Amino acid sequence: MSEEYDLVTIGAGSGGVRASRLAAGLYGAKVAVIELPFGFVSSDSVGGAGGTCVIRGCVPKKLMVYASEFAEQFHDAQGFGWAQVSPPVDVKKLIASKAKEVERLNGVYGQILSKAGVEVIEGRGVVLDPHTVEVRAADGSVRQLKTKRILVATGGRAVKPPIPGAELGITSDEALVLDNVPPGGTMIIVGAGYIAVEFAGIFNGLGYDTHLVVRGDLPLRGFDEECRQVVRDNMEKRGIHLHFHTNPTKLERNADGGIDFHFYDNGTQSGGIIKCAQAMFATGRAPNTRGIGLEARCGCGPGPEEPGHSGGRVPSIWAIGDCTNRMNLTPVALMEGKALVATLFGGKPSVPDYENVPTAVFCQPPLGTVGLTEPQAIERLAGQVDVYISKFKPMKNTLSGRDERTFMKMIVHVQTNRVVGCHMVSAVERKQRRRLAVRMNVLVAAAAAVVVVVVVAVAVGPDAAEIMQGLGIALKCHATKAQFDSCVGIHPSAAEEWVTMSTPARRVECKGKHAEPTGADSAGYKGD
């Protein structure tokens, strides 16, 4: 039996759900979404509504971050007069509580689709031709769907390095359900990206002997260089063992039931072995498009052919989210889904705007960033950039005794006075002196005027993500340094520092060709 749809979406992750429910609920399209049965660890037969973010990514990761931060808070409380306490953590209880919340959210996503009039079909979706998708259910039954358009929103999947014994290691999927490591056991994380540093903080906070193995000289390649150094220093101060210029070479099961982790240190030109309870690979993710028929039957790959759009070589097949390997962030997938359905069903041709996308790394303390890094600004822009830097001991740390400082960096294009980048690593939310305020004050100031400044800011601290969201709006409004300076700060707060930086740390000559920062006129979706 064949059925005709306006849109069939393969994948009920964040992007697929957003596009499907808007197409059906807002524009009246007949839509079906195909998703694999629910499970915590993904595979060719396991998925679930909500996708990576809800089931085995952002949401459960953040819950684990919260859990791991209590050890720090118990310690810091002593400086404020609280009695010393170090209660044990019940990891099995934590994982069970986390699982319950994830299962609830999985149900919520199914309800969202149903209420919007989307038909949810469980199984594996395979593209047979540009207008036919076959659904292969777990019970072996097969169903074919005829459709005008196909949307591929299958996300990504963690990959392991091709070394002997790699199958003994785990990925972030399994790490989020790991509850059998003995207290104080040794955990090794391989990788330098945000997943690696976040899980290093999680395992360390939960009391495990944590090692981070990094191929290069710093974690978080692609982020601001000075912020990367601050993150490294904070990890070392918190007791995480950092192994730079080091590659894994082999994993072996040992007689104790653990793992012998073999490595080679390129710095010392020598190898070694670390005995551990478990090794986690955070060595990258790849588009989850294998075996769904794109290359074999349609002659198209997983990603879009036209930069900034979600279409490929076949006019009826579209792709959004991590399966495009374009900008792998949940909010970006949501943006792409919204723009796509506005184009296809709303008569509003829309292109996602990838300029000034704020993001955060939930290391401990966390890092927040929006806009250009200093090297990017130098490479792209003409003229000069002023670099403003602020480092200070947060007010909380004056009594807690914690040896961590907040770091903030703003990049301003001199010729236009535009703020082009903001980066922050912040230990706590308050500081000792009047410093930094952004939040809604900067947003109002930026939105109220014609902006001619590009700023880059980076922050690390419990509020880094919250602050960066506000700064992201300011940069979208093309805020200038003068407008930041005119904003009254919130005192005492860390955020007020963003509006009180008066003297640049340095002025740097640029090498690029752009006389003005990009993003002055967004061609993206403007709303309903």
Does 55 belong to an annotated binding site?
no
Instruction: Report the alpha-carbon distance of residue 519 to residue 240 in Å, rounded.
Output: 40
Say if residue 194 carries a ligand binding annotation.
yes
Structure tokens at 71: 């050890």
Q: 207 among the known binding-site residues?
A: no
Give the torsion through C-alpha atoms of 509, 514, 520, 522, to 10 deg. -130
- 62 annotated among ligand-binding-site residues: yes
Which is catalytic among the residues 75, 241, 245, 491? 491
Whole-number Cα distances in Å, 373 to 226, 233, 356, 462: 10, 20, 11, 21
Q: Is 391 annotated as a binding residue?
A: no
Residue 131 known to be catalytic: no
Among 151, 144, 152, smallest CA distance to 121 is for: 144
CA angle 436, 329, 133 (to 5 degrees): 160
Structure tokens at 319: 């792709």
State the angle between helix axes of 14-25 and 330-344 in degrees (0 to 180), rounded to the nearest 10: 30
- Those residues whose C-beta lies under 8 Å from the C-beta of residue 349, and which sit 6 or more positions away, are 342, 343
Nearest to 326 by CA among 298, 357, 349: 357
| Cα-trace Rg, the chain | 24
The HSE-up count of residue 66 (CA atoms within 13 Å, CB side) is 10
Q: At what angle do helices 91-115 and 58-77 cross, to 10 degrees?
A: 140
- Is 196 a known ligand-binding residue? yes
Q: Is 109 annotated as a binding residue?
A: no
- 125 annotated as ligand-binding: yes
Token pair 């707060």 in the structure block, residue: 493
* 192 appears as a binding residue in the annotation: yes
**322 marked as part of a ligand binding site:** yes
**For residue 84, what is the DSSP state?**
P
For residue 151, the surrounding DSSP H or E stretch is: strand 150-152
The neighbour count for residue 386, using CB atoms within 10 Å, is 19
Do the annotations mark residue 195 as ligand-binding?
yes
- Tell me if 303 is assigned to a ligand binding site: no
- What are residue 390's phi and psi, to 5 degrees? -135, 130
CB contact at 8 A, 276 and 248: no
Binding region:
62, 125, 191-198, 284, 322
Q: What residues are labeled active site?
A: 491
**What residues are designated binding site for FAD?**
62, 125, 322
Binding-site residues for NAD(+) sit at 191-198, 284
